[in-house]
Amino acid sequence: MEQKKTDLNETAIFTDPEGRLFIQGQFFDFNSKYKDSYPEIYFTCGIRIGEGYAAAGRAADGHPVLFRSVLGNEWTETPLISGEEDGYKKAEGTIIAIDYESASERLFLISDHNELIIIPNCRRCIRIIDL
């Protein structure tokens, strides 16, 4: 069976060991662009989601972060907070893995604090599960 060859730079989003973000093979200087809006971000993973992108990691103050973008040039943070019966729960640690399920349009994040963070299309419906 012949495999279709794809130029990964056409759709790829990835991070390097220094926590930098690359989109379609080009370095995107997130920290310089958003220095007045967010603390410095160390990106650990990224993924293509439908027609856009998601990138996750850790802020300089230690909290986990998730950012989304349609084209890769403008980014919006998705708060990693879930509403629980007894209040709110914030995700902890660094995001170390990310996956996307296109059928349900859900993102799945894993933190180094053994948390599974499920982000459906409804931003208020985030779930944080201790593993």
Instruction: Confirm whether 66 is domain-assigned.
Output: yes
Instruction: Confirm whether 75 is domain-assigned.
Output: yes
Q: pTM of this prediction? A: 0.85
pLDDT tens, residue by residue, 68-110: 999 888 999 999 999 877 788 999 999 999 999 999 999 999 9
Owning domain of residue 102 = 8-130
Please choose, from the candidates 89, 40, 87, the residue with its C-alpha nearest in 3D space to the C-alpha of residue 62: 40
Reading the block at residue 78, the tokens are 């998705």
Q: How far apart are CA 54 and CA 48, in angstroms?
A: 6
Q: How far apart are CA 112 and CA 53, in angstroms?
A: 22
SS3 9: helix
Instruction: Confirm whether 3 is domain-assigned.
Output: no
Instruction: Confirm whether 2 is domain-assigned.
Output: no
Q: How many domains does the chain have?
A: 1
Cβ neighbours of residue 52 closer than 8 Å, sequence gap 6 or more: 68, 69, 70, 71, 72
Q: How far apart are CA 99 and CA 38, in angstroms?
A: 24
Answer whether 95's CB lies under 8 Å from 111's CB: yes
Residue 130 has pLDDT above 70, yes or no: yes
pLDDT tens, residue by residue, 105-124: 999 999 999 999 999 987 67
Instruction: Confirm whether 1 is domain-assigned.
Output: no
